[in-house]
Structure 1
């Protein structure tokens, strides 16, 4: 594990991680925490010979970071022409309105409340700005409005918080639902198995070069956690907080509030399926 390092000439307020694939560059937001890992990954996506770029997840409302993203694109000879959101959590979307103001772009998202402009995003949509091909993949579960973006030319998928570069993601109950999340992981696995996706470009943490392996790990992890929760309930741990203390005893307590959201989602799922 290594944190992104600043490169010479990088504008203050953002950390340039450098090119991740032929068509993507990450600018890391300065909002590192136990929940955001090294910070939010803001992705600049463009065709190699295009003067236009798409930005995915401008990140928090941090003026230095937003301007660093714009300047990074401009140094490569590109103008930001469109802003996309993977979901509405503040660490990904809070800066979107200001970023749109700075770039004079529209913001497209699944949630209508986050959009700036008439056009949203949905299953089957294809972004073609500057000759780019980005396919919209619905991946609800972490949140109800979570999306991923398939970049076929690079064999990559930008996953927001659905798959992270380090550790695992939470299901943000009640907005996020475990059944939806498992379906989304299977959908991403299908991209890896059937559609040539080998690289995960996450919303937090480092790039993952083994997409299928990462997604299989997530599915196995969820199955393991569900079995642990089921056993905890059978042992008399009934409330979400009791289950968290039992199942996540080896996890930093600062993460227990997030773990409780996932546990609530797991308890709901197990109850709906008659397993507890």
Structure 2
């Protein structure tokens, strides 16, 4: 075994079916890596630890609590460090280093800086001995719907650049699966990433048109653009629109297009 997914029991409008905790490696042969322990839920964390046996390290894709709140508890139980881009999330001194090789029995991992959803977002390239190349994306790509740019920490320009990075990676390294932070495994990485980029470009066109028609605040744009939105995700939609307005303001006269369909935090 090189990859196993454990879903935390924290479903909701912003977390879909719950947070996916990813275990990488072969527990029968040595310590494994755990990506995104999820919430501080003892039952979930105990299930992960029991399956892992020994944990070499924990990696957190970004600072949101539905991904990292359980990291200190699991690290304490396992006696290991937590690696994260945000120093406030780490246990120990190690951060994530873009491109660094991390080896465990059964797989190699490589962190990849993919900011956009948040400024500290990382994805993790996983090359398993099973011959399948995978990409764990945190909230940069979801298994269902699309993600939110979490203004002011997230950034539309960075997100588009990170999508381009992932599109190139999928093509050049034959990535067969995306392991998202929420929702099912993505088995058409190239198609989903292309859709994410086009959809985000289309959404920015809609925001631009709403502004031209007189909308000024994120709330006004949301009312004009997201006409069938679930009220539970309206605050996230407004954050995403704020990020898009900031992007447009920084590119006065720019004729490109961008989009975001907020279905997640």
Normalising by structure 1, we get a TM-score of 0.88
Write the distance in 2 (CA, Å) between the matches of 1:200 and 1:131: 18
- C-alpha distance in 2 between matches for 1:134 and 1:148: 10
Q: Which runs of 4+ in 1 moved over 4 A?
A: none
Counterpart position of 2:179:
201
* Structure 2 residue 43 is matched with structure 1 residue 64: yes
In the alignment, which of 200, 203, 214 is matched to residue 236 of structure 1? 214
CA distance in 2, matches of 1:167, 1:275: 30
Aligned to 1:132: 107
Q: Deviations over 1:61-104 (max 9, x none)?
A: 11111101111223xxxx22211100010000011101101111
Q: Find the counterpart in structure 1 of residue 66 from structure 2.
A: 91
Contact 2:39/2:70 (<8 A) preserved: yes
Residues 230-249 of structure 1: CA deviation (Å, up to 9, x unaligned): 00000001111000111111
Q: How much has 1:49 moved relative to structure 2?
A: 6.1
Determine whether 1:24 maps to 2:29.
Answer: no
Which structure would you say has the larger RCO, counting Cα contacts within 8 Å and 6 or more residues apart?
2
Cα deviation digits, residues 112-140 of structure 1 (max 9, x gap): 11111121112121211336310111010
Deviation, 1:265, is 0.5
Q: Distance in 2 between matches of 1:134 and 1:35?
A: 28
Residues in 1 aligned to 2:196 and 2:50: alpha-carbon distance in whole angstroms: 35
8 Å CA contact 1:82–1:129 kept in 2: the answer is: no
Q: Which residue of 2 aligns with 1:159?
A: 137
Q: Which residue of 1 aligns with 2:18?
A: 39
Q: Partner of 1:182 in structure 2?
A: 160
> Which deviates further from its counterpart, 130-139 or 35-44?
130-139
- Conserved? CA contact 1:26–1:41, under 8 Å: yes
Structure 2 residue 124 is matched with structure 1 residue 146: no
Counterpart-to-counterpart distance in 2, 1:191 and 1:47:
25
* TM-score scaled by length of structure 2: 0.91
- The alignment yields a C-alpha RMSD, in angstroms, of 1.4
Q: Measure the CA separation in 1 of the matches of 2:64 and 2:101.
A: 23
Secondary structure at the counterpart of residue 158 of structure 1: strand
Gaps of 5+ in 1: 1-21
Distance, in Å, in 2 between the alignment partners of 1:231 and 1:127 is 46
Matching residue of 1:3? none
The reply to whether residue 100 of structure 1 matches residue 100 of structure 2 is no
Give the C-alpha shift of residue 192 in structure 1. 1.1
Distance 2:219 2:76 in 1: 43
